[in-house]
Amino acid sequence: MSSVPVLMYHHVSDDREVTPRGFEEHLLLLKREGFRTLSLAELRAHLTGAQPAGRAAMITFDDGYLDNWVCAYPLLKKHGLRAVVSVVTERAELARSAFRHRMDEGAASPDTRKDERGPEGFLSWRELDAMAASGVFEVASHTHTHRDFRREQPYADLRRELVESRRLIEERLGVWSGAVFWPWGDCEPGWSMTAREAGYRLAFTTQVGANTPGRDPFAVRRFKVKSDSVQELSRRLWLYSRPVMAELYANVHGLDRWLSGKR
């Protein structure tokens, strides 16, 4: 039985923990170690047991930052790998409508800390449409407003958040991936049913562990890629490809220091 490692990124930029050079090294590592990158439909087929994935991984990006288009997209395209970006649809509505230049067109890595929360810092629908049409990226929901439903805001309107996000993605892009990435990785019992009723087929958390056939497709496990280190990523790919080890790690405190080399 195989487990699919699901990698979680936010930014790929020169002013962040993962730089474009480091991200390209990550992609080369995946190819070198024989991983293929899954689509959302393929991951769901793996989890439901319809079509086990074999040696495969998934690359995901949260929030829909501009650098995903400027820096990550051209590198994924160059190396023939795929990824999923989860967008906060309210932010995409406010972003600039024009295309912005990418690194493969001579653009510099963006100043993500300056523009992170403003409209300039997020992907536009035009950029998302180009990313999706290329087949390099699939676009998933990160809800409409990215409110922290558990800690700060009542979540009685979660269904409306999911429905509005799906509506905008379908209207703006003409496709629907069927996936939601919970803000902050939080989820509660009952949210899966709400997502199902809103037409979703997959939900992603920030909990670590194995993604094996028979696992709940509304509780996909992911691990955060924290640095450019190829060695660290290689160790995590090894771990999360092995169901028993992945579950052990999920339940034993302290293994993260071993994986990251911080003993």
Q: What is the pLDDT along the chain (263 residues), one digit of tens a residue?
A: 789 999 999 999 999 999 999 999 999 999 999 999 999 999 999 999 999 888 999 999 999 999 999 999 999 999 999 999 999 999 999 987 778 999 999 999 999 888 766 778 999 999 999 999 999 999 999 999 977 545 555 555 889 999 999 999 999 999 999 999 998 777 777 889 999 999 999 999 999 999 999 999 999 999 999 999 999 999 999 999 999 888 888 777 555 555 555 44
What secondary structure letter does DSSP report for 220? B
How crowded is residue 102: how many other Cβ atoms within 10 Å of its Cβ?
18
- What per-residue confidence (pLDDT) applies to 263? 40
Q: Which CATH superfamily is domain 6-259 in?
A: Glycoside hydrolase/deacetylase (3.20.20.370)
In three-state secondary structure terms, 48 is coil
* Structure letter (DSSP) for residue 216: -
CA 1, 209, 226, 229 dihedral sign is negative
Q: What is the 3-state secondary structure (H, E, C) of 99-124?
A: CCCCHHHCCCCCCHHHHCCCHHHECC
- pTM comes to 0.92
pLDDT score for 152? 53
Q: How far apart are CA 138 and CA 149, in angstroms?
A: 25
Per DSSP, the three-state class of 128 is helix
Measure the CA–CA gap between 262 and 174, rounded to whole angstroms: 46
Q: What tokens appear for 244 in the block?
A: 């028993």
Domain extents in the chain: 6-259
Contacts with 157 (C-beta within 8 Å, 6 or more apart), sequence order: none
Contact present, 202 and 178 (Cβ < 8 Å): yes
